């Protein structure tokens, strides 16, 4: 006996509680049906087992229905069915589910009535406009396709779902399967069949998850992942698999899945597939800010929470924090954040809570190392930084150039990409953050956010993975600044399969195609960046602004320290002359060393200083802490000892 259990995505994804309930169902199936429970995806379970002689499976299904309704699907409304049970390919009607008046009658007499619930779930999806259009067309066309006998021609058409991470391309598949069954274009009750094209150990393209013959043996939705082979669509093995799919498909509908890569790559994959079988592209682009907020509001409402209006700018900062490591998963990341928001609101002391409302004070707790908000513009912040006057002048020059070009309807938009070179701690990352804000203030960029990544965040793990990954990172930075630290590692691979150079080629295409809506800033050591720019002939010509960040002078380092010490704690005024004497006496060989931290060295000094004070006064709150000269003297002794060791390690040059 084989039981397939599929939850309605509209119910399943409506709250985290519903999504977590799947583990409860798995335990029940293992205890009452059999130990082998297969999770096909988050909302689909399958369990196969042998019935004892004389045992009636209908009683087992009845108990399963009771369990689901009493212990899992406790929040369902009349007129909805949150799950579907199929036994050995035959769907079991749930007589116990609450059904609204007239719903059963409509289900028996009208195809449009049958699809009301699934189409309601489709229309309720955030984003995915192309998918919604596809479903509307299928619902409209299905009766005529069935009447005139052209349904087999419909089933020959495959679909290419190109989805950004967290944009719904995977979550909609159960809905699509249900729609196709309910309008009659798929018969029977077989669950979707998942296949993956991938390279084996001998680098040959093969199918995993089953065979084409097995997948297309019964009417069903067949989902084929081609993410790992999109750069090899012309390979003989790929063409052979596609041809077998076309020949064997009589009663199934096929969906190919790939990442949401650049438009050029999507069109190329579509063309390669279309050589063998008819294919329609359905794109799931990254969710925009409005859509991400809409998902967050729904998630909060699912737990009977809401957020104050002043929470949402802080929520946007949290989204930016989540994406700085190059890992952002769309709706999934939003669900994680909203869960953290609710828990943060619950941690607020009971006497300070405002009911089930997330406040700005609760949201602030989630923002790690959040800097104080400032009313000043980006250029004003840049002017206020120590030693950055030449950099500010170059940024102003770039802004004037772009503004002038935009004022000429016949003029070509100049590129705004930059290279920042210099030693560690010279302000490259800080300035890059401010550049985005300054360009937004000047009307040059739409959004002005700062998206930070390293070269490894652009590089894939297998052939065909790099270009989509690079595109997704760039797409997140459209309208903003993409900052790539130590970019020269993209050109340092010794491997036969050079994914770094593949990422660089994809990046250059993005820089050119979105030159008026994307600023890419490459950063790193001066000499390595010069070599990096020589790797690809088209790279240097696309980067008009090269900004050198020199080491800070001793006087500038002291100015940085003076700005830090008064920003948070009270302090003994005698510390300043001591600090000035220490910093101005730093030896040349220490300052000239390539790995000297510059501003980071001063921040390290400052953080060690307040750490010593905190250890001396345990339990004190920040506003009660005073930095004393004894704390500074202890820090100087430690740094001086470390500096002496570093100087001894430096190579000696002389005669």
Q: Is residue 253 part of a domain?
A: yes
Which CATH number do you get for residue 568?
Answer: 1.10.8.60
**pLDDT of the residue at 369:** 41
**pLDDT of the residue at 523:** 92
Among the ranges given (15-19, 146-150, 174-178), the one the predictor scored with the smallest mean pLDDT: 15-19
Q: Is residue 40 part of a domain?
A: yes
Q: Is residue 294 part of a domain?
A: no
**pLDDT of the residue at 372:** 43
Residues 441 and 536 in one domain: yes
Residues 15 and 47 in one domain: yes
Distance CA 543, CA 538 (A): 9
Residues 92 and 132 in one domain: no
Among the ranges given (62-76, 287-301, 539-553, 608-622), the one the predictor scored with the smallest mean pLDDT: 62-76
Which CATH number do you get for residue 7?
Answer: 3.30.70
User: Average of pLDDT values for 406-410?
Assistant: 74
pLDDT, tens digit, 9 for 90 and up, residues 500-553: 788 888 888 888 888 888 999 999 888 888 888 887 777 888 898 999 999 999
pLDDT, the chain, mean: 80
Is pLDDT of 393 > 50?
Answer: yes
User: Average of pLDDT values for 39-43?
Assistant: 57
Domain count, the chain: 5
User: Average of pLDDT values for 375-404?
Assistant: 82
**pLDDT of the residue at 453:** 85
Distance CA 193, CA 218 (A): 10
* Helix 554-565 × helix 575-584 angle, to 10°: 150
Domain boundary at 515, 549, 583, which? 549
**pLDDT of the residue at 98:** 44
Who wins on pLDDT, 20 or 205? 205
* Residue pair 273/256 in contact by the 8 Å Cβ criterion: yes
Q: Which of 40-54, 309-323, 452-466, 518-532 has the highest mean pLDDT?
A: 518-532
Is pLDDT of 138 > 90?
Answer: yes
Q: Is 527 exposed, middle or buried (0-12, 13-18, 19+ CB in 10 A)?
A: exposed
Residues 210 and 253 in one domain: yes
* Residue pair 606/564 in contact by the 8 Å Cβ criterion: yes
Is pLDDT of 158 > 80?
Answer: yes
Q: What percent of the chain has pLDDT over 70?
A: 81
Q: Is residue 110 part of a domain?
A: no
User: Average of pLDDT values for 144-155?
Assistant: 90
- Biggest CA–CA distance in the chain, Å, is 101
pTM of the model: 0.55
pLDDT, tens digit, 9 for 90 and up, residues 26-36: 777 777 776 66
Distance CA 32, CA 55 (A): 13
User: Average of pLDDT values for 262-290?
Assistant: 87
Among the ranges given (42-46, 71-75, 100-104), the one the predictor scored with the smallest mean pLDDT: 100-104
What is the DSSP secondary-structure string of 74-138? TT--TT---EEEEETTEEEP-TTS---TTHHHHHHH-HHHHTHHHHHHHHTSSS-HHHHHHHHHH
**pLDDT of the residue at 19:** 53
Identify which of 371, 382, 255, 240 has the alpha carbon closest to the alpha carbon of residue 314. 371
- Binned at pLDDT 50, 70 and 90, residue 563 comes out as confident
Residues 204 and 85 in one domain: no
Who wins on pLDDT, 597 or 225? 225
Q: Six-digit token pair at 35?
A: 């130990």
Among the ranges given (264-278, 320-334, 403-417), the one the predictor scored with the smallest mean pLDDT: 320-334
- Binned at pLDDT 50, 70 and 90, residue 598 comes out as confident
- Which segments of 238-278 are extended strands (E)? 253-259
Q: What is the sign of the dihedral through the CA atoms of 77, 83, 87 and 90?
A: positive
**pLDDT of the residue at 18:** 57
Is pLDDT of 480 > 80?
Answer: yes
Is pLDDT of 279 > 90?
Answer: yes
Is pLDDT of 344 > 70?
Answer: yes
Q: What percent of the chain has pLDDT over 90?
A: 19
Distance CA 481, CA 250 (A): 49
- Binned at pLDDT 50, 70 and 90, residue 106 comes out as very low
- Binned at pLDDT 50, 70 and 90, residue 495 comes out as very low
Domain boundary at 549, 564, 583, which? 549
Query: How many C-beta atoms lie closer than 10 Å to residue 47's C-beta?
Result: 22
Q: Is 355 helix (H, G, I), strand (E, B) or coil?
A: coil
Distance CA 598, CA 600 (A): 5
Who wins on pLDDT, 587 or 89? 587
Is pLDDT of 494 > 90?
Answer: no
Is pLDDT of 15 > 90?
Answer: no
Q: Is 394 exposed, middle or buried (0-12, 13-18, 19+ CB in 10 A)?
A: middle
Residues 6+ apart with CB under 8 A from 286: 164, 165, 167, 260, 330, 472, 475, 476
Residues 600 and 512 in one domain: no
Helices (H), 160-215: 173-182, 212-215
**pLDDT of the residue at 431:** 92
Who wins on pLDDT, 167 or 568? 167
Which CATH number do you get for residue 528?
Answer: 3.40.50.300
Residues 154 and 35 in one domain: no
Residues 82 and 224 in one domain: no
Residues 532 and 469 in one domain: yes
- Binned at pLDDT 50, 70 and 90, residue 244 comes out as very high
Q: Six-digit token pair at 181?
A: 């069954």
Residues 455 and 329 in one domain: no
Residues 6+ apart with CB under 8 A from 568: 610, 622
Q: Is residue 654 part of a domain?
A: no
Among the ranges given (73-82, 93-102, 267-276, 440-449), the one the predictor scored with the smallest mean pLDDT: 93-102
**pLDDT of the residue at 42:** 53
**pLDDT of the residue at 112:** 45
Q: Is residue 291 part of a domain?
A: no
User: Cα dihedral angle (571, 576, 581, 584), rounded to 10 degrees?
Assistant: 110
Identify which of 624, 593, 275 has the alpha carbon closest to the alpha carbon of residue 425. 593
pLDDT, tens digit, 9 for 90 and up, residues 600-655: 889 899 988 988 888 888 777 767 788 889 999 999 988 888 877 766 655 544 43
Please state the separation of Cα 100 from the chain's center in Å.
Answer: 39
Identify which of 605, 621, 520, 613 has the alpha carbon closest to the alpha carbon of residue 564. 605
Q: Is residue 299 part of a domain?
A: no
Range of the domain at 625: 554-649
Distance CA 506, CA 500 (A): 10
pLDDT, tens digit, 9 for 90 and up, residues 573-592: 999 999 999 999 988 888 88
Distance CA 181, CA 159 (A): 17
Residues 602 and 463 in one domain: no
Q: Is 423 helix (H, G, I), strand (E, B) or coil?
A: coil
Domain boundary at 65, 100, 135, which? 100
Q: Is residue 440 part of a domain?
A: yes
Residues 427 and 359 in one domain: no
């Amino acid at each position: 006996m084989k039981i397939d259990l599929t939850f309605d995505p509209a119910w399943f994804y409506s709250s985290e509680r519903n999504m977590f309930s799947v583990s409860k169902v798995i335990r029940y199936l293992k205890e009452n049906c059999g130990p082998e429970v297969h999770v096909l995806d988050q909302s689909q379970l399958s369990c196969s087992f042998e019935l004892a002689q004389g045992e009636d499976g209908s009683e087992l299904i009845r108990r399963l229905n009771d369990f689901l309704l009493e212990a899992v699907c406790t929040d369902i409304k009349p007129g909805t069915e949150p799950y579907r049970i199929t036994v050995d390919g035959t769907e079991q009607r749930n007589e116990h589910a609450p059904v609204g008046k007239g719903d059963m009658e409509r289900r028996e007499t009208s195809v449009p009535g049958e699809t009301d619930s699934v189409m309601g779930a489709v229309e309720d999806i955030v984003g995915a406009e192309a998918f919604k259009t596809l479903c509307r067309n299928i619902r409209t066309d299905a009766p005529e396709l069935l009447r005139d006998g052209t349904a087999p021609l419909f089933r020959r058409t495959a679909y290419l779902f190109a989805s950004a991470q967290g944009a719904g391309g995977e979550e909609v598949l159960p809905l699509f399967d249900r729609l196709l069954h309910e309008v009659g274009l798929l018969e029977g009750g077989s669950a979707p069949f998942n296949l993956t094209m991938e390279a084996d150990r001998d680098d040959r393209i093969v199918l995993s998850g089953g065979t084409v013959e097995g997948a297309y043996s019964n009417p069903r939705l067949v989902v084929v992942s081609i993410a790992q082979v999109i750069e090899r669509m012309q390979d003989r093995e790929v063409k052979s698999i596609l041809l077998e799919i076309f020949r064997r498909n009589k009663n199934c509908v096929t969906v190919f899945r790939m990442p949401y890569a650049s438009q050029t790559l999507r069109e190329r994959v579509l063309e390669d597939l279309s050589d063998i079988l008819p294919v329609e592209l359905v794109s799931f682009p990254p969710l925009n800010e409005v859509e991400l907020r809409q998902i967050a509001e729904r998630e909060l409402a699912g737990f009977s929470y809401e957020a104050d209006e002043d929470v949402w700018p802080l929520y946007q900062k949290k989204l930016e924090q989540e994406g700085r490591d190059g890992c952002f998963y769309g709706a999934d990341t939003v669900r994680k954040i909203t869960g953290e928001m609710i828990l943060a609101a619950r941690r607020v002391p009971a006497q300070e809570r405002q009911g089930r409302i997330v406040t700005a004070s609760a949201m602030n707790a989630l923002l790690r190392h959040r800097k104080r908000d400032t009313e000043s513009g980006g250029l004003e912040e840049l002017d206020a930084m120590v030693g950055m006057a030449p950099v500010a002048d170059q940024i102003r020059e770039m802004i004037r150039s772009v503004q002038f070009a935009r004022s000429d309807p016949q003029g070509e938009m100049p590129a705004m990409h930059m290279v920042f070179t210099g030693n560690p701690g010279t302000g490259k990352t800080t300035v890059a953050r401010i550049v985005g804000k300054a360009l937004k203030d000047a009307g040059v960029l739409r959004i002005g956010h700062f998206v930070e990544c390293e070269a490894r965040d652009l590089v894939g793990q297998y052939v065909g993975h790099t270009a989509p990954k690079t595109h997704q990172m760039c797409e997140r930075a459209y309208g903003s600044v993409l900052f790539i630290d130590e970019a020269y590692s993209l050109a340092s691979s010794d491997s036969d399969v050079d994914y770094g150079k593949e990422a660089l080629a994809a990046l250059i295409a993005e820089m050119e195609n979105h030159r008026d809506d994307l600023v890419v800033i490459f950063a790193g050591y001066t000499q390595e960046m010069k070599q990096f720019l020589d790797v690809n002939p088209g790279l240097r010509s696309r980067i008009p602004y090269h900004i050198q960040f020199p080491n800070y002078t001793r006087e500038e380092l002291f100015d940085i320290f003076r700005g830090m010490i008064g920003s948070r704690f009270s302090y003994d005024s005698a510390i300043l002359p001591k600090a000035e004497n220490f910093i101005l006496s730093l030896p040349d060989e220490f300052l000239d060393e390539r790995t000297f931290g510059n501003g980071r060295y001063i921040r390290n000094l400052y953080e060690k200083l307040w750490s010593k004070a905190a250890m001396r006064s345990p339990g004190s709150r920040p506003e009660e802490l005073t930095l004393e000269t004894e704390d500074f003297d202890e820090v100087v002794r430690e740094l001086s000892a470390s500096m002496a060791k570093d100087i001894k390690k430096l190579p000696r040059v002389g005669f």
